[in-house]
Amino acid sequence: MQIKKPLISEMAEHDRPREKFELFGADKLSDAELLALILRTGSRDTSAVALAEEILNLDLPGTGLEKLYHLSKKDLLEIRGIGKVKAIQMMALCELSIRLSKLKSRRQLSFSSPASIARYYMAEFQSYRQEHLMMLLFDCKNHLIGERLVSKGTVNASMAEPRDIFGEALSAGAAAIILIHNHPSGDTTPSPADLTVTRRIFEAGELLGVHLLDHIIVAGGNYRSLKAEGLVSTSAL
């Protein structure tokens, strides 16, 4: 028998999210309680806290709040108690989180450090259900001059053609590039297709004078630098 959780109006005052926030501060609230403050209301027989707990317990990649990145508007609208306004608010919250994460990481961003690059793009890539391959473009002094989305879907040779990648790079006047993509599975281990793409891009870049500096894979809050593992070179691949 499922125990019915109390509505917020039925809770002791010091247990209600808003009052608890005012009395004790944001850091004393659970993830569900903080999310309930964004949702404001639940449904007729479900509190905002219970609704938030339901969302955080959905069968999605990640744990807790990480699951919010994997919810589409359609997914949200299928949850009882979530209407169009709440769905938009939730998606706006996730976008703000991504932007704040990038702003914070930008202060320590160093394009010579794979860890720094991975931190900067981590939140954005965690929100993707499919693999996304992005290219970072650098001038001759290794200053970032742009970024381009190369492909969506499984990274393979047909979706990452050297002519497309270097057409973009040469048009932008880039002297070097870094590739970065995500694995929604949560495993940073490079697939055979990842290694094939890296080899083809590296070899084409050496011929064209636009050097592949690294290929970084991000997944599950972790990253892997193929350069650091000696996998960005013709001999290694």
Q: What is the pLDDT of residue 126?
A: 79
The answer for residues whose C-beta is within 8 angstroms of residue 50's C-beta and 6 or more apart is 5, 42
- Put simply, whether the predicted model's pTM sits higher than 0.75 gets the answer no
Q: Where are the chain's structural domains?
A: 8-101, 109-225
Rounded Cα distance, 125 and 134, in Å: 10
Better-predicted residue by pLDDT, 151 or 14? 151
Class at the top of the CATH hierarchy for domain 109-225 = alpha beta
What are the residues facing 136 on neighbouring strands?
A: 147, 178
Q: For the segment 37-85, what is each residue's pLDDT rounded down to a tens digit?
A: 989 888 888 889 999 999 998 888 777 888 888 888 899 999 999 999 9
Q: Give 8's pLDDT tier (boundaries 50, 70, 90).
A: low
Conformation bin of residue 57: beta by default, left when phi > 0, alpha when psi is -120 to 50: alpha
Q: Check whether 197 has a pLDDT greater than 60.
A: yes
Between 49 and 159, residue with greater pLDDT: 49
